[in-house]
Protein backbone atom coordinates (compact mmCIF):
# COMPACT_ATOMS: atom_id res chain seq x y z
CA UNK A 1 0.00 0.00 0.00
CA UNK A 2 1.28 3.44 -0.89
CA UNK A 3 0.72 6.76 0.78
CA UNK A 4 -1.25 9.63 -0.68
CA UNK A 5 -1.30 13.25 0.47
CA UNK A 6 -4.14 15.79 0.69
CA UNK A 7 -3.18 19.44 1.22
CA UNK A 8 -5.51 22.18 2.41
CA UNK A 9 -6.61 24.29 5.36
CA UNK A 10 -6.81 22.54 8.73
CA UNK A 11 -10.62 22.72 8.86
CA UNK A 12 -10.86 20.94 5.47
CA UNK A 13 -8.45 18.28 6.72
CA UNK A 14 -10.57 17.83 9.85
CA UNK A 15 -13.68 17.42 7.65
CA UNK A 16 -11.87 14.82 5.52
CA UNK A 17 -11.00 12.83 8.65
CA UNK A 18 -14.53 12.94 10.10
CA UNK A 19 -16.72 12.59 7.00
CA UNK A 20 -14.28 11.02 4.54
CA UNK A 21 -12.94 12.14 1.20
CA UNK A 22 -15.48 13.69 -1.16
CA UNK A 23 -15.67 13.44 -4.97
CA UNK A 24 -13.57 16.08 -6.67
CA UNK A 25 -10.88 16.31 -4.01
CA UNK A 26 -7.33 16.02 -5.31
CA UNK A 27 -4.78 13.69 -3.73
CA UNK A 28 -1.07 13.84 -4.53
CA UNK A 29 1.65 11.20 -4.81
CA UNK A 30 4.33 13.29 -3.12
CA UNK A 31 4.45 15.54 -0.09
CA UNK A 32 5.84 18.58 -1.88
CA UNK A 33 2.85 18.91 -4.23
CA UNK A 34 0.45 18.52 -1.29
CA UNK A 35 2.34 21.21 0.64
CA UNK A 36 1.99 23.56 -2.32
CA UNK A 37 -1.75 22.75 -2.55
CA UNK A 38 -2.12 23.61 1.15
CA UNK A 39 -0.23 26.87 0.72
CA UNK A 40 -2.33 27.84 -2.30
CA UNK A 41 -5.58 26.96 -0.51
CA UNK A 42 -4.71 29.17 2.45
CA UNK A 43 -3.00 31.97 0.56
CA UNK A 44 -1.67 34.80 2.71
CA UNK A 45 -4.59 34.62 5.15
CA UNK A 46 -3.09 34.06 8.60
CA UNK A 47 -6.43 32.91 10.06
CA UNK A 48 -6.27 29.55 8.31
CA UNK A 49 -3.64 26.93 9.07
CA UNK A 50 -2.23 24.90 6.18
CA UNK A 51 -1.98 21.16 6.76
CA UNK A 52 -1.37 17.92 4.87
CA UNK A 53 -3.29 14.71 5.51
CA UNK A 54 -1.32 11.49 4.97
CA UNK A 55 -3.60 8.58 4.00
CA UNK A 56 -3.08 5.00 2.88
CA UNK A 57 -3.97 4.23 -0.73
CA UNK A 58 -7.28 2.31 -0.81
CA UNK A 59 -7.34 -1.22 -2.17
CA UNK A 60 -10.42 -0.49 -4.31
CA UNK A 61 -9.12 1.14 -7.51
CA UNK A 62 -12.61 2.34 -8.53
CA UNK A 63 -12.56 5.03 -5.82
CA UNK A 64 -9.75 7.00 -7.46
CA UNK A 65 -8.85 8.22 -10.94
CA UNK A 66 -5.23 8.98 -11.74
CA UNK A 67 -4.36 12.02 -13.85
CA UNK A 68 -0.94 13.40 -14.80
CA UNK A 69 0.41 14.23 -11.35
CA UNK A 70 -2.75 14.08 -9.28
CA UNK A 71 -5.34 11.56 -8.18
CA UNK A 72 -9.00 12.60 -8.23
CA UNK A 73 -11.49 11.10 -5.78
CA UNK A 74 -14.47 9.61 -7.66
CA UNK A 75 -16.72 8.56 -4.76
CA UNK A 76 -16.98 9.08 -1.02
CA UNK A 77 -14.83 6.87 1.17
CA UNK A 78 -13.32 6.99 4.64
CA UNK A 79 -9.53 6.82 4.32
CA UNK A 80 -7.03 5.14 6.65
CA UNK A 81 -5.32 8.20 8.12
CA UNK A 82 -1.75 7.80 9.34
CA UNK A 83 -0.87 11.37 10.37
CA UNK A 84 -1.54 15.06 9.87
CA UNK A 85 1.35 17.39 9.07
CA UNK A 86 1.02 21.02 10.15
CA UNK A 87 2.75 23.49 7.85
CA UNK A 88 4.38 26.87 8.40
CA UNK A 89 4.36 29.54 5.71
CA UNK A 90 7.10 32.17 5.79
CA UNK A 91 5.09 35.34 5.14
CA UNK A 92 8.24 37.29 4.25
CA UNK A 93 8.84 34.81 1.43
CA UNK A 94 5.39 33.22 0.83
CA UNK A 95 6.75 30.62 -1.57
CA UNK A 96 8.57 28.90 1.28
CA UNK A 97 6.62 26.22 3.15
CA UNK A 98 7.98 23.84 5.78
CA UNK A 99 6.62 21.19 8.12
CA UNK A 100 6.04 22.68 11.59
CA UNK A 101 4.92 19.49 13.34
CA UNK A 102 2.85 16.34 13.20
CA UNK A 103 -0.42 15.33 14.80
CA UNK A 104 -2.16 12.05 15.29
CA UNK A 105 -5.68 11.94 13.84
CA UNK A 106 -7.20 11.82 17.34
CA UNK A 107 -5.30 14.91 18.49
CA UNK A 108 -6.80 16.77 15.55
CA UNK A 109 -10.16 16.94 17.33
CA UNK A 110 -8.64 18.66 20.37
CA UNK A 111 -7.51 21.64 18.32
CA UNK A 112 -9.92 24.54 18.03
CA UNK A 113 -10.44 26.11 14.64
CA UNK A 114 -8.60 29.36 15.47
CA UNK A 115 -7.15 28.86 18.94
CA UNK A 116 -3.39 29.45 18.91
CA UNK A 117 -2.80 28.07 22.42
CA UNK A 118 -4.04 24.59 21.66
CA UNK A 119 -2.12 24.64 18.35
CA UNK A 120 1.17 25.28 20.15
CA UNK A 121 0.50 22.62 22.75
CA UNK A 122 -0.38 19.89 20.25
CA UNK A 123 2.61 20.29 17.93
CA UNK A 124 5.35 17.79 18.75
Please report, in tens digits, the pLDDT of each residue of the chain (124 residues total): 689 999 999 889 999 999 999 999 999 999 989 998 998 888 877 778 899 999 998 888 888 999 888 999 999 988 898 899 998 887 777 677 888 888 888 777 776 655 444 445 555 5
pLDDT score at 74 = 92
Give, for 15, the enclosing helix (H) or strand (E).
helix 10-19
pLDDT score, position 4? 93
Q: Please indicate, yes or no, whether the overall pTM of this predicted structure exceeds 0.85.
A: no
- Edge to edge, the sheet with strand 70-73 lists 64-66, 70-73, 26-28, 3-9, 50-56, 81-89, 97-103
How confident is the model at residue 99, as a pLDDT? 87
Do the Cβ atoms of 53 and 25 come closer than 8 Å?
A: no
Domain tally, the chain: 1
Q: What is residue 112's predicted lDDT score, i.e. its pLDDT?
A: 61
Structural domain span for residue 24: 3-122
Amino acid sequence: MGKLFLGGPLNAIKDAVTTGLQPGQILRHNLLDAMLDARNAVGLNRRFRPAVLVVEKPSNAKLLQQNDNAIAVLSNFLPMVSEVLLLKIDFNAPRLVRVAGTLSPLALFDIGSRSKQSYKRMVR
